[in-house]
């Protein structure tokens, strides 16, 4: 198994709702990449439910990763997701210092909000701290809300923008350090657009808009992109594959009439990701 790729997942573990590590681990495994969670919290259900139980894992994160280092573990990529506090971002910065080697790909999914609004746990100070991860990243995968937060600019009216504006935004994020930027979930009438900025060049593609937003979609997208990159698959191909996979899951979710907070019924489609 010496040639098997390995990704460290810095994200929460949620029992019900198909988000975070609960989505990323099986998706990455289906792509024949080993997924190694570093939990930020343990939740019974995600915070999109009326009631949830949360066990904050911040105080355990540092000894957890120190033990990884003591055992000589290395990773081909590190993927960050939802971070609940400034203290957790400090731990992630330490994790990057410990485990990001010359060939290690760091993918930062700056989970902060959606549809022009921040999540309830995110303060201006926490958003500012999130920006500290960007210079170390190779790839950043924000949605439009998060891209605006990273740049400190207003969210556009009704979330509408054009490729010229998206190019400037992506280029400004790339100027902070990352080589590539993927802006996800852009609403374009009856389509959903993904904007790619790769090594100074921008382009976009779109998919059919299906149903409503569902928990875990961003987690699945970032996981498929990360696993693709460590397998040597080009960024655009990985992003298109992620968008197509999520589209299939959304179609099935609509057929089942699942509540939005039950997430993507991805289990039916994992075989699509096997390479």
> What's 195's domain CATH number?
3.40.1190.20
The tokens for 162 are: 């054009």
Indicate whether 1 belongs to any domain. Answer: no
Indicate whether 88 belongs to any domain. Answer: yes
154 C-beta neighbours (distance < 10 Å), count: 8
168 burial level (CB within 10 Å; 0-12, 13-18, 19+):
middle
Residue 65: phi, psi to the nearest 5?
-75, -30
How would residue 213 be classed by pLDDT, with cut points 50, 70 and 90?
A: confident
Indicate whether 125 belongs to any domain. Answer: yes
Listed in sequence order, the residues at least 6 apart from 138 whose beta carbon sits closer than 8 Å to its beta carbon are 105, 106, 107, 178, 179, 180
Asked whether the predicted pLDDT for residue 2 surpasses 90, the reply is no
Domain membership of residue 105 as a residue range: 6-270
pLDDT in tens, 129-169: 999 999 999 999 999 999 999 999 999 988 889 999 999 99
pLDDT in tens, 182-208: 999 898 888 999 999 998 999 999 999
pLDDT (average), residues 21-44: 97
Indicate whether 123 belongs to any domain. Answer: yes
Residue 208: phi, psi to the nearest 5?
-60, 135
As a three-state string, the secondary structure of 168-203 is HHHHHHHCCCCCEEEEEEEEECCEEEEEEEECCEEE
Indicate whether 95 belongs to any domain. Answer: yes
pLDDT number for residue 227: 98
Residue 229: phi, psi to the nearest 5?
-60, -40
pLDDT in tens, 231-273: 999 999 999 999 999 999 999 999 999 999 999 999 999 999 9
Separation between Cα atoms, residue 108 and residue 79, nearest integer Å:
6
Listed in sequence order, the residues at least 6 apart from 81 whose beta carbon sits closer than 8 Å to its beta carbon are 9, 10, 11, 12, 20, 21, 24, 40, 109, 111, 219, 222
pLDDT number for residue 1: 45
Three-class secondary structure of residue 75 per DSSP: coil
Separation between Cα atoms, residue 93 and residue 134, nearest integer Å:
10
How would residue 17 be classed by pLDDT, with cut points 50, 70 and 90?
A: very high
138 burial level (CB within 10 Å; 0-12, 13-18, 19+):
middle
- Number of folded domains in the chain? 1
Indicate whether 275 belongs to any domain. Answer: no
Listed in sequence order, the residues at least 6 apart from 247 whose beta carbon sits closer than 8 Å to its beta carbon are 207, 208, 210
pLDDT in tens, 75-90: 999 999 989 899 999 9
pLDDT in tens, 97-132: 999 999 999 999 999 988 888 887 788 888 889 999
pLDDT (average), residues 173-186: 96
How would residue 62 be classed by pLDDT, with cut points 50, 70 and 90?
A: very high
């Amino acid at each position: 198994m010496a040639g098997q790729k390995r990704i460290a997942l810095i994200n929460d573990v949620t029992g019900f709702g198909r988000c975070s590590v609960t989505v990323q681990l099986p998706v990455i495994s289906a792509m024949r990449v080993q997924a190694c969670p570093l939990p930020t919290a343990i939740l019974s259900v995600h915070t999109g439910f009326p009631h949830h139980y949360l066990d904050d894992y911040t105080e355990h994160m540092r000894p957890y990763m120190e033990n990884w280092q003591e055992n000589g573990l290395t990773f081909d990529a590190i993927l960050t997701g939802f971070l609940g506090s400034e203290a957790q971002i400090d731990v992630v910065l330490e994790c990057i210092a410990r485990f990001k080697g010359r060939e290690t790909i760091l993918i930062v999914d700056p989970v902060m909000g959606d549809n022009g609004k921040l999540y309830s746990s995110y303060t201006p100070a926490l958003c500012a701290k999130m920006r500290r991860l960007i210079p170390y990243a190779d790839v950043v995968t924000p949605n439009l809300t998060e891209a605006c937060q990273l740049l400190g600019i207003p969210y556009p009216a009704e979330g509408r923008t054009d490729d010229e504006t998206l190019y400037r935004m992506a280029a400004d994020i790339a100027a902070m350090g990352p080589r590539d930027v993927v802006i996800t979930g852009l609403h374009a009438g009856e389509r959903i657009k993904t904007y790619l900025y790769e090594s100074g060049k921008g382009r976009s593609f779109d998919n059919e808009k299906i149903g409503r937003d569902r928990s875990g979609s961003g987690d699945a997208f970032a996981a498929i992109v990360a696993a693709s990159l460590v397998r040597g698959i080009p960024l655009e191909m990985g992003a298109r594959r992620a968008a197509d996979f999520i589209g299939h899951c959304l179609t099935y979710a609509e057929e089942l009439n699942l509540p939005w907070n039950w997430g993507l019924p991805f289990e039916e489609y994992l075989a699509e990701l096997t390479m």
